[in-house]
């Protein structure tokens, strides 16, 4: 199979996204550019692609994209994240503590020992059970490429992979890649050697209630001028 370079993946994916979002934009007016940086105060990170348009109802919408080829294969291979496991276990412990009613012992019981010991035990039990039964879950794994695209604030985030790079992954790795991205709300585009782009998972739109995500980018003023 023909190996696509990262530049080709980037170019094909951007063209695909531009066509997709143009239909949603007011007067079909859309900003689309490769290699756009966030402001220095937000790390000066460089997104492989950035799109922005004004929606008639939601206002300014921003889309960020990161592209990868076979040369960056390790970035799309899932790895265990200990801190993610701890964070998820703590949340599970809190949920069990509240759901079981143990949390109410804090102000309902007169015994000062059990008043705090009961909810603490429920919390610890919930955390331990979560860790025991889900240690190999995709929820406790991460991907370098997902961590990377998360640095580019946007209403929707996309990852574009060359088909050959995805084909290089083992079946379990492909499954983990898809499930982690779906869990994080990140869309996946598969770019074929012919230039054809297909969805693997769709991005989940995230709203920003105050302002818009362009405020994170160095080209904010230029983009706003173009859109309005």
Highest mean pLDDT among 21-30, 45-54, 64-73: 45-54
- Which 3 state secondary structure label does DSSP give 17? helix
Q: Is residue 107 over pLDDT 60?
A: no
pTM of the model: 0.84
**Per-residue confidence band for 126, with pLDDT thresholds at 50, 70 and 90:** confident
Cβ proximity of 209 and 155 under 8 Å? no
Cβ proximity of 82 and 172 under 8 Å? no
Angle between helices 112-134 and 82-99 (to 10 degrees): 130
Both tokens of 55, joined, read: 């929606």
pLDDT at position 184, please?
93
User: What is each CA distance from 190 to 1, 64, 79, 179, in whole angstroms?
Assistant: 14, 16, 21, 15
Residue owning tokens 């370079």: 5
Q: Which of 157, 175, 158 is nearest to 166 (CA)?
A: 175
Cβ proximity of 10 and 49 under 8 Å? yes
pLDDT at position 2, please?
80
pLDDT at position 37, please?
97
Residue owning tokens 């983009």: 223
Q: Which of 62, 224, 84 is nearest to 149 (CA)?
A: 62
Please report, rounded to a whole number, the percentage of residues in the chain having pLDDT higher than 70: 93
Q: CATH 3.40.1350 spans which residues of the chain? A: 6-78+143-227
**Top-tier CATH class for 6-78+143-227:** alpha beta
Rg of the chain on CA atoms, in Å: 22
Cβ proximity of 63 and 158 under 8 Å? yes
């Amino acid at each position: 199979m023909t190996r696509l370079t990262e530049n080709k993946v980037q170019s094909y994916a951007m063209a695909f996204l531009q066509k997709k979002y143009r239909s949603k934009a007011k007067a079909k007016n859309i900003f689309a550019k490769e290699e756009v940086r966030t402001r220095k105060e937000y790390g000066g990170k460089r997104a492989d692609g950035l799109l922005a348009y004004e929606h008639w109802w939601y206002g300014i919408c921003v889309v960020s994209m990161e592209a990868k080829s076979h040369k960056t294969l390790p970035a799309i291979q899932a790895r265990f994240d200990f801190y993610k496991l701890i964070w998820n276990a703590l949340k599970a412990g809190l949920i069990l503590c509240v759901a079981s009613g143990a949390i109410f012992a804090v102000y309902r019981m007169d015994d000062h020992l059990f008043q705090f010991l009961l909810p603490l035990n429920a919390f610890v039990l919930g955390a331990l059970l979560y860790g025991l039964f889900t240690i190999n879950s995709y929820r406790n794994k991460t991907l370098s490429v997902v961590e990377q695209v998360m640095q580019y604030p946007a209403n929707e985030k996309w990852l574009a992979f060359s088909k050959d790079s995805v084909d290089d992954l083992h079946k379990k790795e492909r499954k983990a890649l898809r499930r982690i991205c779906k869990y994080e709300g990140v869309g996946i585009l598969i770019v074929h050697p012919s230039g054809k782009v297909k969805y693997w998972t769709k991005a989940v739109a995230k709203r920003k209630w105050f302002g818009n995500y362009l405020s994170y980018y160095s080209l904010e003023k230029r983009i706003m001028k173009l859109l309005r």
